[in-house]
Amino acid sequence: MPQLNMVQAINLALREEMARDNRLVVLGEDVGRDGGVFRVTEGLFEQFGGDRVMDTPLSESAIAGAAIGMAVCGMRPVAEIQFMGFIYAAFDQLVAHAARIRTRSRGRFTCPLVIRTPYGGGIKAPELHEESTEALFCHVPGLKVVVPSGPYSAKGLLLAAIRDPDPVLFLEPTRLYRLVKEEVPEGDYTLPLGTARIVRQGGAVTVVAWGSMLQRTIQAVEGYDAEVIDPMTLAPFDGETLLASVRKTGRLVIVHEAPLTCGLGAEIAATVAEEAILHLRGPVVRVAAPDVPVPLARLMDRYLPSVERIQAAVKEVLTY
């Protein structure tokens, strides 16, 4: 089986699915001849041509809006927004339209589209290139939000996202794009949306982390009896897996690189408070970024939860 990084795994997923399903089109800024600024769509233009791999003008709202139109009319658009920090112009289209078409048409029309976008910090890029605003989208009923944390899950989740009958936002942790290689099978496999993965079994504390924080979390819990959960889909969130784990361990740490306040950690903590509070032995602890705009490179290391901070949180809840 080939060892691939995440960029190659996503590329493989797109390539195979485009060959399998001729309704699939890829569109976005620089996705064609240039192969995407992170090279995720490299070679697709050459293989499938400009009608299926479309460089668009610089218009996020038009990219999302056109993808909606295509999806409603029988195509399977996979649109790229170049960085998550530039998705806001498309927010209106995603929230006011993509998420509501099924409801508004009482099921007559559906919107099976995927929006892929690099997200997250730690790549020393300019302003708005390192955002992690997944919670904004998780708040919107009708949208699914998926975050792979490695090459294998990236391929399986992306194929599932493309085949999902509803709109999916697929967030690719930029810092992980080339950081790790994993065995990624050629050919078809999907990982179901809405299902979390237990990355590491443990009995004393549950730690939930996604995207590039998962990797740090695994490092941080080395030597501890920690169970690590990778939700993979943030919306809808797999509460069952989480609750089962918390009922077993009695402790919960949630790690995310988005700011603390109203981050997804709040929702996860509330779910545990509602459904498993009597199993808890100590407070739920969140490790998150501070409530400030994402800083530039010089302060990024202080902004993102570090291995040390995650470890400190785990140690702290273990004292209860």
Partner 1 sequence: MPETTIQTFGVRRLEIIAADGTADEALLPDLSGDQLRRLHYLMLLTRTFDRRALALQREGRIGTYPSVLGQEAAQVGSAFALQPSDWVFPSFREMGAHLTLGYPVHQLFQYWGGDERGLRTPDGMNLFPICVSVGTHIPHAAGAALAARARGDRSAVAAYFGDGATSKGDFHEGFNLAGALKLPVVFICQNNQWAISVPLAAQTAAPTLAQKALAYGFEGIQVDGNDVLAVFRATGEALVRARDGGGPTFIECLTYRMADHTTADDASRYRPPADVEAWRDRDPLLRFERFLAKRGLWNGDYGAEVQAKAEGEIDEAVRRYESVPPPEPGEMFAFTCAELSPRQRRQQENIR
Ligand X SMILES: Cc1ncc(C[n+]2csc(CCOP(=O)(O)OP(=O)(O)O)c2C)c(N)n1
Q: Kindly list the catalytic residues.
A: 129
82 belongs to the binding site for ligand X (CB under 6 A): yes
Kindly state the helix (H) or strand (E) to which residue 273 belongs, with its residue range.
helix 264-276
Instruction: Using CB under 8 A, pick the residue from 128, 204, 244, 318 that binds partner 1.
Output: 128
How far out from the chain centre does Cα 279 lie?
29
Name the one residue in this structure whose structure tokens are 């996020």. Answer: 60
Cα(290)–Cα(293) distance, rounded to whole angstroms?
9
Residue 316, φ and ψ in degrees, nearest 5: -60, -50
Residue 289 neighbours by CB distance under 10 Å: 21
Instruction: Name which of residues 193 to 232 contact ligand X (CB under 6 A).
Output: none
Cα(19)–Cα(26) distance, rounded to whole angstroms?
12
Report the partner that residue 219 touches, choosing among ligand X, partner 1, none (CB closer than 5 to 8 A by kind).
none
Name the one residue in this structure whose structure tokens are 């009922």. Answer: 247
Two structure tokens written together for 43: 């070679």
Instruction: Name which of residues 10 to 69 contact ligand X (CB under 6 A).
Output: 29, 58, 60
Instruction: Using CB under 8 A, pick the residue from 273, 291, 315, 320 that binds partner 1.
Output: 291
Instruction: Name which of residues 44 to 63 contact partner 1 (CB under 8 A).
Output: 55, 57-62
307 belongs to the binding site for partner 1 (CB under 8 A): no
Report the partner that residue 292 touches, choosing among partner 1, ligand X, none (CB closer than 5 to 8 A by kind).
partner 1
Cα(139)–Cα(169) distance, rounded to whole angstroms?
12
**SS3 for 313?**
helix
- The answer to whether 179 and 215 are in contact (CB under 8 A) is yes
Report the partner that residue 297 touches, choosing among ligand X, partner 1, none (CB closer than 5 to 8 A by kind).
partner 1
* Residues in binding contact with ligand X, number by CB under 6 A: 5
Binding mask 249-278 for partner 1 (x = CB under 8 A): -----------xx-----------------
Burial classification of residue 20, based on how many CB atoms lie within 10 Å of its CB (0-12 exposed, 13-18 middle, 19 or more buried): exposed
Instruction: Using CB under 6 A, pick the residue from 86, 244, 307, 312 that binds ligand X.
Output: 86
**SS3 for 79?**
strand
Of 99-107, 114-122, 126-134, 165-173, the window that binds partner 1 (rule: CB under 8 A) is 126-134
Q: Which residues bind partner 1 (CB under 8 A)?
A: 29-30, 32-35, 37, 55, 57-62, 85-86, 88-89, 124-129, 260-261, 290-293, 295-300, 302-303, 309
Q: Which residues bind ligand X (CB under 6 A)?
A: 29, 58, 60, 82, 86
